[in-house]
Structure 1
Amino acid sequence: MPESSQIKGLIFDCYRTLIDIQTDENSFDTYDTVSKWLQYHGVKIDPLVLKEEYRTRVKYIFETSAESHPEIKVEEIFESICKENSIWKIDAKKLGIETSLVFRSASLRRFEAYPQSLLLLEKYKDIPKCIVSNGQRVFSELEVRFLDLYQHFDFIIFSSDLGYKKPDARLFEKALKRLGLETHEVMAIGDTPENDIYPPQELGMQAMHIHDAWKEVSEIEEEEKTNGED
């Protein structure tokens, strides 16, 4: 990592940068769980039909969007599915949100914060920081809060709020504007070069792969420990 005098703001990716996560949105069990839960909320839909409807609606949005890198709002997908398959009167909007959370929890296989990233956040706790994520606010914000990461950041930008996602550089432009810094004063950190490294670099920011950031912080920690023993 560069000296703090050179870098005045940090932009972090979320998943596989701060949060180690694995989900399975293709598993029958994921949709079976959601289907059974929906039975108790007035929606009757077979798990395989639910899976096909979900995938079809996501694909349609991607194919018909004017954006180069379109994004969905998962709660709106489930809202439309629930509305069309309800067997009694429902609050489709509310149920869409709740179904999104059940869907996420049913698909979740691994979920924890990287300890190396926690060290990184602590090391640079005095520098303004934000998250720019290809995430669904409906559950991603809760995940950041649950892992006690929220407190480290000034704000979070989720692609689901915007209708487009990384590598669209506009997400980084929005983060830069909110940080109120010059491009050369900000460094982006993430795990995917196409999404997290190249777009901010094209805007004039510095960028670093999360593994390199972990390595540098580890070396700094080791150096400080050695100096302290002298």
Structure 2
Amino acid sequence: MAATMMSSTFVAKVAPVRSQLRNVRVAAVSNGAKVTCAAKPSWLPGSTSPEYLDGSLPGDYGFDPLGLGKDVATLARLREAEIIHSRWAMLGVAGCVSVEALGYGDWLSAATASQQTYFGADVPFDLGTLLAIEFVSMAYLEGKRNEETDPEKRCYPGGAFDPMGFSKDAASFEMMKKKEIANGRTAMMAMLGVYCQTSTGSTPVANWLAHISDPWQVSVASNAVAIPYIN
């Protein structure tokens, strides 16, 4: 009986408090109050991103230790340069690997051969002529790109460069921008690795095959060229 009376008294005292709390919560919702606690991704957990890197750019993780992007115009120029280099690096890595994987020699000897071939077929131009054609073509394309004044269109021109219409859906387009820059950054690092592998006297695919065949004995740690004085 005493327990019942104590329980009833407790409920009687708590009920008005619950009612008041419920009223406060309803009032907050009815006033349109909304709190979001989503954290911006960071390249280094716990670090503070610069104010000018607010997460609005694709692939922005607050990485700018030298403060190169403080100026708005400089940030736009560096962003464009990174995207262009990323695209070339992705094409370059694919080309370097595919040449060797398909049995047409390694990327360095194939590019400097006196007789150029394309998938086994002879190309009717020597290396000097091919370089001249490439130089003129690139100069023309870069000139046309520099005629564009819209910074977004300079990076994502659309039109003929989006034949499948991937940019029509805004949400999907933003996601693809993030994927492109992420893959592009990886490709730039991979292309740097391809360049460095020439010092080993081997080639990318050959190095990879040697590593997976004996990963504990063949790695960057066993390469005296990559890490001097380890042997």
Structure number with greater CO (CA < 8 Å, separation at least 6) is 1
Tell me whether the two structures share a fold, i.e. TM-score over 0.5: no
Structure number with greater Rg is: 2
Structure showing the higher strand proportion among its residues: 1
Question: TM-score category by the smaller chain?
Answer: under 0.3
Structure showing the higher helix proportion among its residues: 2
TM-score (norm 1): 0.20
